Every structure is written in structure tokens, then in C-alpha cells.
Chains A and B, each alone.
Chain A
Amino acid sequence: MSDEEQVIDLLDRATASVPAALLEAPHAAIRRRVRRRRAAGWTAAAAAALLIIAGFAVARPGPAAQMPAAPGAAPAATSAQEAPGVPWLGARIDRTGTRLTVYAVPLLGKCVAERDPNRDDLVLDDDRVTVQLDGIYTGCADDTQVTSRTFTLPQALGDRFVVDGRSPRGQPFLFSDKDVPDFAAGGWSEQKAVWLNSGAAVLQLYLTRPGGPDLIFTPARWQPEPDGRVATPDHTLTLGDLQIDVYNRPGQQAAGWFSSHNSDVRFMLTVAGNPLEKDAFDALLRGMTWA
């Protein structure tokens, strides 16, 4: 076999088996993306048309004389300028509803730098809480570092939306600690969060307690397909108001569930290090405080 034939053979062998859950084409998700592209296309066309009209209006001489700018005055900010700061990906609200943590978007090969927390912005309205994070992206060796900021709200968040002031049309996800076990009550303490992989938009939280077992907890945005792309669990537990999917695979167990107030966030919990027996993993889950 030539080098090239060997590589062809290697690539074929390595990709021969696609995970069962991904074998079927997600038609609904593709259709959604097609619709989003069309909507974005119309928006862009409308924006371009508006810019042309606006440019024409600016180019025409105005009827009134222009006021001369004061010497040394800074140019006025325009809406076309990009808002300063970095966008954030998701937010977490604690059990009291008053401690809000937002996580800056992870970028491949980059980290957030030059942050001045005093320049972060928090605006409280009746129907929404708007957060804006200061900082810029710069190249870095470890792009799994998480940049986050925790704010204390004067009143519980309640039903208010949480939006990114820098990209208000974005769709950051929000999850509540009420959707996850009370790890502190179980004796676990939370280590600093990291991103699961380079550039991956999945938070990973490491939880440790004396005597173990240590846990890995990953919340991530997830939009389930109507045709059920969630992997079939080995069994399901009902804990509190939540349906917990339990996966027992050789060498690893995992529990997965959706946030209760919407289905946009999927949580996953695994045991770090040596796996437990199947029954012991179920017992561990049942022993946690879910509410």
C-alpha cells in the first residue's frame, strides 16, 4: 500500500462508526437554520436599504446651519459603533435569586483581558436585567479559562429576562441553581469553572468533598429536537420535579436532565475518577437534595 492508500484506509477506519445518536439527519434543526438564514437575509437587506436611505439623507444639505463643534470635543458616539466590552454566553442565578453570574463567550485561542470590573454594567428594569461585561479578547495559551462576573441584585430576579447589553439580540442561556442538586448541602464545594474544551461553549464545574466522590457538572445550552435526539437513557429517575436520565456505560455513569422552566439548558453530571457501581450511582443521585 502506498502512503496515500494507507491514509485513505486509516481515515475510513477511524470514521467507520458514527455515534448512534447522530446517525439520523436532524431535519428539523436544519429547517430551523434555513429559516434563520432567510430571516437574517431579510434583516440585512432591510438594514442595507435603510443605510442607503440614511446616507442619502445625510448627503443632502440640511436646511439649518450646522453648529460648529467645540474645540477639542470628542466625536459623538453613533449607534453604528460597536459597543465596548465582550459578549457573554450564559448566566446562572443562585437559589435566592439574587446572585447572578454571567460567563463571557469563549473564543478559540483567546481569553478575555484588560477587564475593569468597574466598567461592567448592570441595568435593572421591571422586565429585564441588562448586563454588559468590560474587556477585550487577546490570544492566550489556555482558552478554557472562564471569565465571569457575579452581581448581587437588590431584588430576586424573578421572571425578568437577562440580556446582554453588548448584543441585546443574542440569546444567552440562563439556568438556576434550583434546577440542579444542592451540592453544598451534600458537602461538595465548587472549584473554579472552566470551559470543557478549547472553544467549546460548555461550562465544566468540578465539585469536590472530603471522602468523595468528586463530581463533574456541565450545564450547556441545548435545544432538543422533536424527533428525540437525546440519547436513550438506561433508566430514568424522578427526583424532585425533575426527570433524570441515567446512562450506565462501561467505565462511566452519567446523569442528564433539562432545566425545569424551559428546555434550553441541559445538565450533565458525572463522577470524576473511578466510576461507581450502577446502584451506587443511583443512590448518590437519590441522596442529593433536589429542589
Chain B
Amino acid sequence: MSKTSNNHYDVIVIGGGHNGLVNAAYLGKAGKKVLVLEQRHTVGGATVTEEVYPGFKFLIASYLISLLRPEVIQELELARHGLEIMPLESTFVPLANGNYLADWPDHEATRHEIERHSKRDAEAYDEYARVMKRLAIALRPLLDMIPPDPTSVTAKDLETMARVRGVLNNMTRDDFHLLSRLMTMSAADFLDEWFEGTALKGTKCTSGIIGTFMGPRSPGTGYVLLHHYIGELDGTFRAWGFARGGTGALSQAIASAAREAGVEIKTNSPVAHVNVKNGEATGVTLENGDEYTAGIVVSNADAKRTFLKLIEPKHLPDDFVSDVNRFRIASPACKVNLALDGLPEFTSMPKGKEALLRGSIEIAPSIDYVEQAYDDAKYGGWSRKPFMDALIPSLLDPGMAPPGKHVMSLFVQYASSDLEGGWNEEKKAQFLDIVIDTLAEHAPNLKKILIHKHIMTPWDLERMIGLTSGHIFHGELALQQLFFLRPSPQWSNYRTPIKNMYMCGSSTHPGGCITGAPGRNAALAILEDRP
């Protein structure tokens, strides 16, 4: 294709993941001529719904929404563009002894349920929930902030540091001390300080390890726990919701908002490399050789993919390349989807309480169970008894499966992205069997109603969606790579060592989950530089 003015844009966004689309929509609304280039046949990246098996819609990667910024929903008018989010109201944790632990949509009912296991915990739970809520409210403004450089004395950085200081000032001394400790300790240690019940601690610790290659006893998982508490749905913190039509429907809603703002989206357009001239990004070249030029190039891809694959290292400073090289991104997360000819019957589910099937179902009976699952995987293996966070979307949105049939979505940990000997189809099948066997221990009719099974391992998430190591957060949410350290100390404000080149993916602050925050914050940074 020849270089015509038709191929020139104000902004090119590499990757149509949810953050890329959010970024494009904001820039489009600001009047920029924006092109989004997506390698796959559909936008969404890891935020997609796919009919892998006829009639059944699978959540092949992300599955729930909580941290999506209310600002993004409001400012892009996503409700008008078709986004509907239904809250998940309960959690069901089957236990090995035939007992169970449940979290109900009613506060008192949950208290009574915890009382069944420990009276002391039932009272501590109230206090715990209140403290976590206070921390979430206090930290909330940080999510929407472009991280400052604490070593800089520019007016801008000083002003942002003052805002950070303001956030901390809003906390009581006790809360601040608690926060400092929570940030640096393990989820297990933190929960031990509050609770005695094995099952309660088991289910609570999972917020600290979802998506990370750490166990509940690894320091740093305290922060991840808090990260998952900052999410809110219609003002309710720690609430998770299911988008009607699956998370793919969210991507479609953002894409619709972007298109309305004049953004052009091209699918089946994998980018081969970013074109750099004299230290400035000038555009991109697709794998098919097509070239597009732009005043600004934004990458929605993770830091490793962006700076180690899409850009030649010669254009980058050595210290930055080594920062990116050591960015921790090994991942343990798999996604399993099952097409079912009926509902799983959990032996521990009491009669008359089947409504619990419509919430989260967690296979996490104790901290030990989850820690053991991690231990099995940390030397390049997988859990013999994996942790699972399951959901039956077709009970909330019957459109996910044919009438009377169901879809079950399972988030599964741990299976190492660095599997010994490497991943292949045979190993995928083996691990999928382990997942099904483990779940069938709790729901023995599972194999009888199983119509189709499908797994996305870290290997698949990397080769299909382009996540390095299949990391769902584009890199670990570890203290050494958060806020002004994410993805690299000098380049945490969505800008990069290459002029006119920006990042808008989850490798930047505030990290992973469907938040839209990196996309939005990056757009604000770009508009600061190029109003």
C-alpha cells in the first residue's frame, strides 16, 4: 500500500483490548483522528465472549467486572452503548467435609452464616469489612491519577505528590499504619490477624492471589487483596458483576462509543513493528506490510511485547530495556469453560439454597489448600488440586446458552506459564482433566452433564491474545512494580523513552483487571502533551 494521506492519523492505538478502546474513545472525543489496530478478528483482547462451541458463549479470558472505573462508564456513556452489568450477589464455598460456607446478599444472613463456623469471626467480619471499605474509599483517587515521579521537583510532579499526600492525609493514623502493613505483608498473615475460621480465610485469601504467581503466604499478596477491594458496582465496594452477553459485550460497548467519537477500528491487522525515526515514533507497519503514519503511537500491548518485540532495542536506552526485561510477568492463570446439559449438583449445597449457584462458586476451602496449589506449580508445574473461581453465567443471562443448557466459567490457578518441557495440546488436556476431576469431587454429576470443555492456558492466552506469558494483569501486581514503578521507575506516566510513543495497557498504573483506568489515564497524559 502506498503512503497516502488516508494512512495518516493523529493517533494510532496498537491493540483493541478494552484499554486500547477506552484510550481511543477519549482521544476521539477530544477531536483526534484515531485508528485502532487489532490483530484478531474481533476487538476486546482479553475482554471477549466467544462461541467456541455452537450455541454456548464462553468467557475465554476475563469473566467479571468490578474495577471498571465509574468515570469511564459515565464519561463514555457505556450504558447507552449497551453495557448492562448484573451483580453477583453470593459466594458459595464447598468444603471437603460436606459442609459449606456462603456469603449472602444480606449482611445479617452472612453474619449468621459465618457464626455457624465461628462466632468470633462473625463479629470480626463486620469490622474487617468496614476497614477494607475505608481503605478502598481512601485509595480510590490513586487509581485515576497519573503517577508522579517522587524524585522530581517539577511543578507538575510536586503538585501530584501533594495530591498523593492528600490521599494519605484523608486517612486516620490507624488506617494508614494498617495500610502500610497490608501493602507489605502476605494475605495469609493479614487474615490470620482477623479470623480463626479455616474456610473463611480460605475464601478471603483468594482476592490476594487471583492473577498473580504468588501464594497466599507470599509477601505482597496483601496489596493484591486490597486491589480487588477497590472495585465497585453502583457504589458497592468489593462487588463483582457479570456483563450481559459476557465481558465481550463491554468491549463492544466501548468500541461503539469509540466509533461514535469518530475512531476507526481495523481488525485482522496485526502490527509487526513501530516505526521510529530519530528517536520519534512515526507510525506502524503491519505484518502484511501495510504502513500507517501518525503523530502519536499508543501501545495497548504489555510492556514486554511493546518494547522487546514491537520496537527494536536500538531505539531504547539500555537501562529501560533492562527494566522491561526484569519486569515480572510469569503467570499461573488458566480459564476453563464448560458447556453443560444441566446444572452441577454440589453435594454440600443444602436443599432450598440452590440460588447460591447464581453467584461465585469458589474451590478454596483453606489457605493451606491454596498455598499447596501454588507450591505444586511454582517449580514449573501445575496444581494437583487447583484453586477455582467459578460462575454459571447462563443462570444470570440465559442468552449465554441454549434454553435449558448452561455455561460454566472457571478461573483456575495454578499452572505455570513456564511449564517444564513447555505447553502442548497433550499437557493442556491433562490439566483440563485435573480441573474437571477436582470440580467433580464437589459436584459428582459434572461429567454426566458435560457436553464440551475448553481451556485457555497461559500458553493460549499468549499465542491467541498476545499477553506475554499469558499474564492477565500484563505483569505482576507486585510492590516493586506498582504506581510510580510500573512498568519502570522512570517511565510510569504512560510516556516512554521514545518521543510520541505512549503506553495504555495494564502494564501501566493501576494495573490489571477490567478497569479502563490505564486507557483513560493515558489519554489524559497524551492530551496534556498534545491538547
Task: Indicate whether A and B interact.
Answer: no
